[in-house]
Chain A
Amino acid sequence: MSESMYAQLVGLCAAVLLLCAVLIVWRRSLHGQIRLLAAQGWGLGVLVAVLGIHEGDGQLMIVAVLVLALKGIVLPRVLTRATVTDNGDLREETPLINTTASLILVALLMMLAYLVSRPVQALGSTPPVAAVPVGMAVTLFGFLVLSTRRHAVSQLIGFLLLDNGIGTIAFLTAGGVPLVVELGVSLDVLLVVLILQVLTSRIRAEFGGADLDDLTELRD
């Protein structure tokens, strides 16, 4: 792979990751958000594969397959299961701020991401390091979704967005963490999402809906 093609592929993957994250903030439909999250997972998997081919790192190729399988296929399936209901509450009805305000915040967070990423630029001027602000931005968008959405599944999506962002930064700056850590992290994330899916269905059974505004009984 030539250097210019490598730089273009890394840039393309980063663009896909960022676009999916912005669209997740924009969309209200939960199924639409889950499809975008799956697309983002594929983007991340391809990014890892590109890095692996460029570095000639076989281990990274294994990780790429793992990321594709987990983030592109398994986790979206789990999320889809969490949205299966009889009364079809499939939209984020009551976000704390409306779509326009969210998109303005997205723009501000993008600038913040560039600011926060400045220390990382010390790692050099390679194409992956140049794309690090995208990872930071996806992480920050995850926080935005987590703190402004009130549907249980939306919060799950926010958590996974955060996780994708951190994963992106890990692959761009360090070519991923050591394999044993990568496996452990993937297992932890999968288990957390499964637990939250089970809790979501219990909340739905107990509170009659998956809107977290009802979870206000514990307070001082």
Chain B
Amino acid sequence: MGAVLLLTPGCCLLVALTVAGLRGRGPDVLLCYAGVAGSVVALGSGLTLVVAHLGGHGAAVTTLGGQLRADSLSAFMLTSIGAVGLTATLADAPRRSRPVPSPSYPALVLLFLGAMSVAVLADNLGVLWVAVEATTVATAFLVGHHGSRHALEAAWKYVVLGSVGVAIAFLGIVLLYAATRSAGVATLSWSTLNGTHPALDPSLVRLAAALAILGFATKTGLAPMHSWLPDAHSQAPAPVSGLMSGVLLSVAFYAILRIQAVAAPVIGTTMMRSLLATAGLLSLAVATLLMISQRDLKRLLAYSSVEHVGVLALAASVGGSLAIAAALLHVLGHGLAKATAFVGSGWVLETEGTTRISDLRHLLHRRPGIAIPLLAAVMALLGLPPFSLFFSEVGIVVAGFQRGMGWVMAAMVALLMAAFVALVRRLAPMFLGHRSDDVGSPDRTVPGIVLPLAVALAVTAVAGFAAGPFATLLTDAAAVLSAP
């Protein structure tokens, strides 16, 4: 069973090296479908771990002498990475009509997927940090892929701010390690720390947790450290934007959850709760303000990601099994919907030649093939039922009220409403209406494959209702973090 943990990182690294080593001489199908293959492996091993978990009553799977470890939370995150990755890469897999990508593109996408899978599977905060930093390394040239001045500027800001932010998190991890060392158990393994509760020095752990959360919050895209996000997510190629918005932010959020679980027994939750609640509300406010007058579709979607990570931060600040289970449902729903929306925006760019919102009109009438999946994804992101984002947001608010955070939750609901209005106001004219002199017949062709997007949206639509094994998985994964 332990071999499953090695499968995703191993396959991704191997195929990435093969693709890079062949320097474009390999078969085209390898270049076109390498990212899809990596996602399939991640999804397959994630689902295998989930099934094993549900069948084996919650024992964690380990390998490499405990270096890699998958409990229900890791299994869920790996499944999300695979599902979102498959949506983004398969829907936009190059076809005959399009040029084969240069070999660096699939190689970097694979390294990106591999790094994210190591991040969620490593039972070591240091290795988690190395993997999160490796995602910056892998995506730097993907952000700058187009080679334009804008892409270059976005890549520079992304690498500098991302690396510096994550460096702060490393300082926090170093101090945590120093605290464990002085307590006589030098370790960065959270399973050990959560299982044995060594007597750590509270003031040192407080400093360490604050720095680590601050650092990973930069990578999560929480305000006020979000300024790189709209640039990077709008300049990257659409599938990469989908992956970065859909799962990379969640992987960084996962790091925050692990840090929180390690620190909470030592210092309580008060400090981290106020830190995360402030960052969450600020993210919601900033995202709403900048969505109101946003002129570019991809930047609008990027700010919507800032909004949704704000919701995740608020869920983490509430804590407890309901809020965390809702947050994980939100991770999956947002990931699938955002990947779909970014792929759709990529198709808009390809067919219309622009992502300026004012230049895009009557899309439902003129290009229903592209507009329908894009509109459905936007509706999911707005938090409309039946999509699971509605249920996860309701779950977080209910949990917040139960835990005495009524004012924070009221502010969150008000800001979510404002964000809803802002998004609808910007996007409604883009989709709706048609000119009377528009005689051309609707263009139903799609420059990609719709099926993965349809499946992703269908999963988002039913996930909120899911009971049985899926609900068990979410509550088990939440229990991992709130375990005594």
Q: List A residues at the B interface (Cβ < 8 Å).
A: 116, 118-120, 122-124, 139, 143, 146, 152, 155, 159, 162-163, 166, 169-170, 173-175, 177-178, 180-181, 184-185, 187-188, 191-192, 195-196, 199, 202-203, 206-207, 212, 215, 217-218, 220
Q: B466 interface residue, CB < 8 Å from A?
A: no
A181 B153 Cβ-Cβ under 8 A = no
> A206 near B203 (CB under 8 angstroms)?
no
- Do the beta carbons of A174 and B178 come within 8 Å of each other? yes
Q: Which residue of A lies closest to B290 (CB)?
A: A220
Q: Is the CB of A119 within 8 A of B159?
A: no
Total A-B pairs, Cβ < 8 A? 135
Which 8 pairs from chain A and chain B are nearest by CB? A181-B126, A184-B130, A173-B178, A119-B203, A174-B178, A188-B133, A170-B174, A215-B153
A175: which B residues are within 8 A, CB to CB?
181
Q: A123-B204, A184-B130 are in contact. Are A174 and B177 (CB under 8 A)?
A: yes
Main secondary structure, interface of A, reads helix
Q: Is the CB of A124 within 8 A of B134?
A: no
5 pairs across A/B with beta carbons < 8 Å? A119-B206, A178-B124, A187-B130, A199-B156, A217-B153
Is B167 interfacial (CB-CB < 8 Å)?
yes
A139 touches B207 (CB 8 A): no
The residue on B at minimum CB distance from A195 is B140
Q: Verify B141–A207 contact, CB threshold 8 A.
A: no
Pick the contact of A195: B124, B141, B294 (CB < 8 A): B141
A192 to B251, CA, bound (A): 20
Residues from chain A with a CB closer than 8 A to the CB of B177 are 170, 173-174, 177
A184: chain B residues within 8 A (beta carbon): 126-127, 130, 134
User: Do residues B152 and A206 form an inter-chain contact, with CB atoms below 8 A?
Assistant: yes
Q: What separation, in Å, do the CA atoms of A181 and B189 have in the docked complex?
A: 12
The answer to whether B155 has its CB under 8 Å from any CB of chain A is: yes
Chain A residues contacting B159 (CB-CB under 8 Å) are 192, 195-196, 199
> Could you mark each residue 179-195 of chain B with 1 if its beta carbon is under 8 Å from any beta carbon of chain A, else 0?
10110001010000000
Q: Is the CB of B167 within 8 A of A220?
A: no
The reply to whether A188 and B155 form a contact with Cβ atoms under 8 Å apart is no
CB distance from A31 to the nearest CB of B (A): 21
Kindly provide the distance from the CB of A125 to the nearest chain B CB, expressed in whole angstroms.
12
- Docked pose: A139 CA to B177 CA in angstroms: 18
Q: Is B80 an interface residue (CB 8 A)?
A: no
A178:B188 contact, CB within 8 angstroms = yes
B160 on the A face (CB < 8 A): yes
Given contacts A177-B173, A188-B137, A195-B141, 14 further A-B contacts (CB under 8 A): A119-B201, A119-B203, A123-B179, A143-B164, A173-B181, A178-B124, A180-B126, A181-B127, A184-B134, A196-B156, A196-B159, A206-B149, A212-B156, A218-B153
